[in-house]
Amino acid sequence: MCGIVGYIGQKDTKKFLIDGLKELEYRGYDSAGIALLGCDSIEVFKAVGKLVNLEDKLNNNSTLNIQNSTFSTGIGHTRWATHGKPTEINAHPHLGNYSFVVHNGIIENYKELKTSLQANGVEFLSQTDTEVIVHLFEKHFEQTNDSAQAFKNTIKELHGAYAILLITKSEQNKIFFAKSGSPMIIGKNSDEMFFASSDAPLIGYANEVIYLEDGDFGEVTQDNISFYNEKKQIWNKLQTSKQLAQKNGFRFFMEKEIYEQSDVASDCMLGRIKDNGTNFDEIENSFFDNIFDIKICACGTSYHAGMVGSYLIERLGKMRCSIEIASEFRYKEPLLLKNTLFVVISQSGETADTLEALKMAKNAGLKTLAVCNVDNSSITRLADVTLLTRAGIEKGVASTKAFSTQTLVLWMLALYIGTKNKALSDTLIQNELHTLRAIPKALKIESIMHEKCKRLSKRYLHGHGFFFIGRDVFYPLALEGALKLKEISYLHAEGYPAGEMKHGPIALADPELFTIALMPQNLLYDKIKSNVEELSARDSTICSISALPFELADDFIQINTTNHYMLEFFEMLVALQLLSQEISIRLGNDVDMPRNLAKSVTVE
């Protein structure tokens, strides 16, 4: 999740940009940069790593006498790598011959645009999708000699998600902006204009703001905004709490990240869902040659996502797939065959057990693939191929959006393998693609769902434990639900395959035993229903999560009626995350930083 700032006015441009980027650090980044325009000169500064590296460059740059030059216009950016490694070259702003651009989001058609521009002699410096924007703009400006028209023509050619700021020597007192799919806010006071990806950088500067909507684009000068689209300008009062702003108004980072899942799911799938299958730019055509099976290895929530992936890779990829807990795998003296693709899953990319398991596979000569959220991490640097989940920084220790995007990547990978093996009918492929496209909507949280979880949570603050039960992919989902509850409420909970309850655990059934039953309508419903009936007959307290009312349930969280079990999967996931969060809040726990836990377990 990149961060963007922009400024136009007569005060200290550099200060606003750097302070603004600092307010956006919580969004996570791996490089940063600013561009300054004024007095007929345009300057850019970029640095890898933390913002202090960029500040050092600015402060040590005496040649430009940057400290007190009056650059009236500037843009800045913190980058979370999605296309291209975290390097200075790939850091934003990206430069044309006389223009700079910063961008948050993903340009889905950047490859076609880049090829066309290169065919016309344009030379690219970076590996990023973003760079096409500034070269496109200058191409159109050469043709029209009109910056506004050039910007309009540029935006028309872009497909995907973007929040863009562009400055150019051809229009020294303007910033061009465009918003579609990624957040952008315009702020103003009497004689300055500001841009930012969220409220925080504007607090203390702007008096009023406009929260841009998808399709908004135009230009600003120091004291005026011109929208190129039909737009009623409604100025809002700006909130004053930076702390609240970093959480976008939510109570916890975990809550913000649960609500972000819909948007990051869209980012995760951008450019990877095609008309007749799924695609990963990162995977060479020959990568799966001589691969006959897959072994997935991970820890915690990532392990649960891997379990879901193992079901889908066998069902859709028609390839054998096993799953291992990394801390077990490391010491079991595993048999590793060269025809096995070794897949590691990690949000942080730094989990010690997962990293060591990856090293074991590499040393055994296996091909390796990482599903990870942090580029340039230890795991991504070691794996042969990395598929980034593009979830943006996850600050809550209890993993939420990492799990949903990991599951999406593995689902798309399963389809990729199955399509490549010509093992799937067109009808099935189209049904899966249609369902994938519907997932962001399934992850959109309806207030009635959140309110229900809030009300229910008061009933589940005690008891001698919880069983979360499910079948097939709802078994790892049950494990994930149990882990979420354990992590942030400190109540004992177990995830269990529903069909296994009668092999012992049902002995625990009594009114104090809470069973959260995942009952998908579209997958083995009758089987799970009979498992739950067995528990209800022994007086266990049942909370059913289902599209179908279940008369034996003591409590019921209703999800939407759908025609695919994976839509039910993601709706149930949100219910489990919210229920755990609301129980934790009632118990007065620190939802974002639960006791005894670390966000990244870099030790054994």
* Smallest separation, CB 392 to ligand AGP (Å): 14
Find the catalytic residue in 2, 297, 299, 543: 2
- Distance, CA of 435 to CA of 432 (rounded, Å): 5
E strand or H helix at 117, and its extent?
A: helix 110-119
Closer to ligand AGP by Cβ: residue 547 or 579: 579
Retrieve residue 440's tokens. Answer: 């962001």
Report DSSP letters for 365-417, one per residue. T-EEEEEESSTTSHHHHHSSEEEE-------SSS-SHHHHHHHHHHHHHHHHH
The minimum distance between CB 344 and ligand AGP, in angstroms, equals 8
Residue 395 or 471: which CB sits closer to ligand AGP?
395
Q: How far is the CB of 603 from ligand AGP (least distance, A)?
A: 11
Distance CA 408, CA 280 (A): 13
Cα dist from 237 to 189, 213, 319, 398, whole Å: 11, 17, 55, 33
Tell me the per-residue interface mask from 285 to 304 with ligand AGP, x by CB under 6 A, - otherwise.
Answer: --------------xxxx--
The residues pairing with 101 across neighbouring beta strands, listed in sequence order, are 94, 166
User: 3-state SS string over 555-582?
Assistant: EEEECCCCCCHHHHHHHHHHHHHHHHHH
Compute the least distance from the CB of residue 407 to ligand AGP, in Å: 13
Q: Judged by CB, which is closer to ligand AGP: 299, or 545?
A: 299
Q: Which is nearer to ligand AGP, 133 or 398 (CB)?
A: 398
Tokens of 393: 């920084």
Angle ∠(524,528,530) on CA atoms, nearest 5:
120
* Residue nearest to ligand AGP according to CB distances in the complex: 300
Query: What distance in Å separates the CA atoms of residue 215 and residue 178, rounded to the nearest whole number?
Result: 7
Q: Could you give the CA distance from residue 29 to residue 91 in angstroms, rounded to a whole number?
A: 10
Minimum distance of ligand AGP from residue 471's CB (angstroms): 23
Which residue in the set 348, 435, 541, 562 belongs to the binding site for ligand AGP (CB under 6 A)? Answer: 348
- The DSSP output letter for 181 is B
Piece of 248-256, 258-266, 340-348, 564-572 that binds ligand AGP (CB under 6 A): 340-348
Residues 568 and 547: their CA atoms lie apart, in Å, by: 8
Distance between alpha carbon 563 and the CA centroid of its chain, in Å?
25
Q: Is 163 in the site for ligand AGP (CB under 6 A)?
A: no
Nearer to ligand AGP, 432 or 480 (CB): 480
Please select the residue that binds ligand AGP; options are 346, 389, 540, 544, rule is CB under 6 A: 346
Cβ atoms 413, 387 nearer than 8 A: yes
The one-letter amino acid at 78: T
Question: Shortest gap between Cβ of 600 and ligand AGP (angstroms)?
Answer: 5
The 8-class DSSP code of residue 241 comes to -
Gyration radius of the chain over CA positions: 25
Of 126 and 351, which has the nearer Cβ to ligand AGP?
351
Candidates 164-172, 342-350, 413-421, 567-575: pick the segment binding ligand AGP (CB under 6 A).
342-350
Residue 102 burial (CB count, 10 A): 31
Our CB check for ligand AGP shows the closer of 398 and 473 to be 398
3-state SS assignment for residue 254: helix
State CA 236 to chain mean position distance. 28
Among 154, 246, 340, 351, binds ligand AGP (CB under 6 A): 351
> Shortest distance, CB of residue 276 to ligand AGP, whole angstroms?
32
x/- binding map, residues 471-510, to ligand AGP, per CB under 6 A?
----------------x-----------------------
User: Which of residues 423 and 597 has its CB atom nearest to ligand AGP in the complex?
Assistant: 597
- Exposure letters 333-349 (e unless 16+ CB within 10 A, then b): ebeeeeebbbbbbbbbb
* Binding mask of the shown chain, residues 68 to 107, with x at each position contacting ligand AGP by CB under 6 A: ----------------------------------------
Least distance in Å: CB of 477 to ligand AGP? 14
Q: How far is CA 402 from the centre of its chain?
A: 7
Binding mask 249-288 for ligand AGP (x = CB under 6 A): ----------------------------------------
**How many residues bind to ligand AGP according to rule CB under 6 A?**
15
Cβ closest to ligand AGP, residue 399 vs residue 435: 399
Q: Does the active-site annotation cover 2?
A: yes
User: What's the rounded Cα separation, in Å, for the pair 545 and 556?
Assistant: 6
Residue among 153, 175, 158 nearest 166 (CA): 175
CB 458 → ligand AGP: shortest distance, Å? 24
Strands 185-189 and 208-211: what pairing? antiparallel
* 108 backbone φψ class: left, alpha, beta (φ>0; ψ -120 to 50): alpha
39 catalytically annotated? no
CB 81 within 8 A of CB 376: yes
Tell me, residue by residue from 354 to 373, as one string, x for binding to ligand AGP by CB under 6 A and - for no binding.
x-------------------
Residues 6+ apart with CB under 8 A from 589: 488, 489, 490, 595
Pick 140 or 256: Cβ nearer ligand AGP? 256
Instruction: Map the footprint of ligand AGP across residues 528-557, applying CB under 6 A.
Output: none
CB of 327 to ligand AGP, least distance (A): 10
Site stretch for ligand AGP (CB under 6 A), options 42-50, 125-133, 261-269, 343-351: 343-351
Which residues from 30-59 bind ligand AGP, rule CB under 6 A? none
Nearest to 296 by CA among 262, 258, 344: 344
Tell me the closest approach of the beta carbon of residue 326 to ligand AGP, in angstroms: 8
Could you tell me the smallest distance in angstroms from the CB atom of residue 301 to ligand AGP? 3
Of the residues 50, 441, 444, 599, which is catalytic?
599
**Closer of 310 and 348 to ligand AGP (Cβ):** 348
Q: Return the number of the residue (507 or 603) whose C-beta is nearest ligand AGP.
A: 603
Binding mask 380-399 for ligand AGP (x = CB under 6 A): -----------------xxx
Q: Residues interacting with ligand AGP, by CB under 6 A?
A: 299-302, 346-348, 351, 354, 397-399, 487, 600-601
| Catalytic positions, written as ranges | 2, 599
